[in-house]
Structure 1
Amino acid sequence: MQSVEEFLAYAIRLEQEAAERFGELADSMKSAGNGEVAKLFRQLSDYSRLHLADAKARAGYRDVPDLLPANFEWPDFESPEKAAIWAADPMIGKGEALEIALEAEQAGHDFYKQVLDTTTDPEIKRLAIEFVAEEAGHVAELQKWIVAHKAGLKAPA
């Protein structure tokens, strides 16, 4: 990352795409009658919308570049938190949905961690620390859900 503005452009895109994909998956699960998984995906979409609002607020007065999708250089084909589209399978179980969500959140964490580990800009570093911490919280929460699910317990409060 060359600037805070570039970091925020990436954060905004990442969170926007995560919110949209988890929302699509929630809608798909709801229409298929898989309410438990739909609720989980909707919650993850809402978290991403909160992060999106935070990134936009941080952008505030800054001149954040309006990059086209093709201008983003992601570690993989698409933004890190864009959960696998195959999660829209109406027959997906809760365990599989949790694993997909964990993979997406872990990819988001890893993206921000890579920025943190490679930037020399102190302001980008401060922002990346916060974003890494937020994503780490989501990863830890999903890991708790997976452990509870595998043990046959209800989802953690």
Structure 2
Amino acid sequence: MRTDLLLELADFLEKLDPNRFDIRTWRRPSKDSVGFVSDKQLLTDCNTVACAIGWAVTLPNWKDAGFYMDRLDITKEHLSSPLSKPYTMAIIKWKGHTDIDSYDALQAGLNLPIGMAEVLFDFNNYADEEYTDGKTVAERIREFCSTPSEELIDLVVSYTDTE
């Protein structure tokens, strides 16, 4: 498990202005879409926000490890409501296995047990789904990094949202 990258992210999240973190935020990857935020903007504009992974891919060591934001086109086939409109969102990728994305890319690139990326980074796996601050995510990252490998699966299961 790449605890070095996880702990670097935890350190970053603990120092981050709470107004700049929203675990529910999906970045838009193209300049012509509402919600577009480039890595440069995210780092220099004090009004922009991102989730833990949106921030992680701005960190030099995460970039060096091959993580980056790519595009994911949400088409009519993906939408459950006929009133919804297609759009493009940002999705995390890993250069080590470009055919996968999102939590699968995180699990592969960070060498995490199955389900751990979702437990760490998906707002549905936190007690207060509407608001979870960066420090809470950082605490959970540290808990997982300090757990012996033989106990990690049990810890993942204990946090998994089964509803």
Q: Identify whether the pair has TM-score above 0.5, normalized to the shorter chain.
A: no
The structure richer in strand per residue is 2
The structure richer in helix per residue is 1
Q: TM-score, normalised by structure 2?
A: 0.25
